[in-house]
Structure 1
Amino acid sequence: MRLPSTQALRALEAFARHGTVWQAAAELNITRSAVSHQLRFLEQDLGFVLLQRAGKGVTLTPQGKRYAADVRKALTVLTDAAVQYGDRGVLQGAITVSSTPGFASFWLCTHVAEFKQLYPDVTLRVVTPQRLEDVDAPGVDAFIAYGDGDWPRHSVQLLSAVDFMPVCSPALLNQIGGLSEPVDVFRTVLLHLDGLGDWLNWFAAAGIVGPSVEHGVIFSDMNLVLAAAIAGQGIAIGDNFVCRHMLDTGRLVRPFDLAIRSSRSYYFVTERARAGNPAIQAFADWLKARLVQTTVLLHP
């Protein structure tokens, strides 16, 4: 069997990620018919069926999915080799990093220009996941994930543990006449991310048994929680990464010294096969060094 063309393999890999011919064509900057032809030629070269009808469209067969996964790994190796052995003597390439929304908005976006200054020939794309612990999104090279670190099929590096504490705007604190005791938080609106767990854990650490926390406002994104807190709409639970800059600049304040250690942490996660990619490793090294430099632990 002859070696399939690289163009056909890239067409298969793009189709496997996107699930549609038109999205694969858009990514590869070729026509839909060209993608379809490449997939048909690839089937002929391989001698087994890659595609099957699904309603009005087509999907990969189980064998096609397994082959596409192997193709993606092979193309990754080729891409990484091109980065490592580029003829200009400088680090090159393109990487896509998935970061939790809060970390991306309030930490990464305030430091990322430094990475570009250090590695101007590395194209960096930052995306955010739907789930904070997601480390399997297609098309992503590395993940800044928030979870328990249990991703056995991946290379996992601890970035930092996370401490939670109540935060609010100084204007709100003045408006309600300050907060003397932890139970005083019930004098204003409680702001939640997704659920009530962070507040309940802090209440347990503070020894609070009392009013229900369910009268607060629940948001799906940490950006929204902190936007409401900065606008004086209530008091939120923030962490030492996301809130650092806002606390340093006075947009938010800590009404209490008590902070609790989260059972989850921030991790840098990649596929094992990609752990040695020079561009990914350069980003990981820069990220860890920058976190140390910014002294992420907050002090009262």
Structure 2
Amino acid sequence: MRPAVSIVIPTYNRNKLLTRAIESVLSQGFDDFEVLVIDGAQSNSTRELVRSYGDGRLRYIPQRGKGIADARNLGVKKARGEYIAFLDDDDQWLPEKLGLQMELFKSLPSTYGLIYTAFNYYYLERNKILGTKKPKARGNVYRHLLKDNITGTSTIMVRRECFKRAGLFRMSFPTCEDWDMWLRISRICLFEAIDKPLVNYSIHTGQFSFAKYLAGRYRMIEAHGDIRHDPQVLSYHLLQIGILKLFSGDRTGGKDVLRAFKLNPTMTGNLQDVLGSIFDVRTKIYILKFLNRL
């Protein structure tokens, strides 16, 4: 019998964190699921960890380490459930997560293909919640996603059929491959959201590469004509990138800011949004980690 939900957990030599992630799944009130642990390291210790649970819902799948996008794609291809949820191995679900999403999906028409939730920024080293990110939009969220990744991948549950229509995660992205995926899915279906934080998104040492993040942002611009060819949207991206660069001490950010104002001299619809995003919890964390203060 097919499970209702397939849960994809990519991992790479992080068994301590993986244990925490798996146990947060096994603690769910909703239990009609399978867990696909995609192991990019093909590690015997990870294989044995998964087997040690003695739970037939857990499936160990070795993968030659080609990155997070390929791991998620392999999980999607192997999934048997009608719905697919994603959990990064360093994140943690709260016990109501699957149940609340499944209950909400049952109440929605088939035009809704994805549900995301609020989440906590959780500082692992200090066992402390730094802040919470709330959902910003529902329904047709395409225009919202053109500017910002309003979701969190470990919060998402999506109908499997959406991947058949929108395609899979693109491996050409150094980062932001998840943002690109949700943007493409938002073109074909509606999104719903849960305001309650149901995921702890982990912040920890060695997690963040500022250079790779910026490369991913530039790749988003390159990949999406609706970003490149809309002066307001493009100026938003460039202004945000430029300010982040300047905060981190990279003076080339001034060129991005200047180009942003040339595209949209009055910054109509942008300046307030960018300033809000610059000072939200996520961006503060990025800057602090870049400066080695977190």
What TM bracket, shorter-length normalisation? under 0.3
Q: Give the greater-gyration-radius structure (CA).
A: 1
TM-score calculated relative to the size of structure 1: 0.26
TM-score calculated relative to the size of structure 2: 0.26
Q: RCO greater where, 1 or 2, for CA within 8 Å and sep 6 or more?
A: 1
